[in-house]
Amino acid sequence: MSAPTKKADKATLRSLSKDVRGAVSTEYLVLVGTVGLGMAFALFALGPGLVASYEVTRRLVAAP
């Protein structure tokens, strides 16, 4: 097998740079990942306050 030529490498790179298949799914993946991380950080930040609020409500509802 011979080594690929620079001309073939340039042609391959040119064709790959024009290929946009999978770009939309990659964008959705980045979007979903960003939203997921945002939700995780929000839960981490707000979690203790929400748990305390639910505990107070639970005690009030369960009180005789």
Per residue in 22-56, pLDDT tens?
A: 888 999 999 999 999 999 999 999 999 999 999 99
The letter for the amino acid at 5 is T
Statement: the pTM of the whole predicted model exceeds 0.95:
no
The dihedral sign for the CA sequence 22, 28, 30, 33: negative
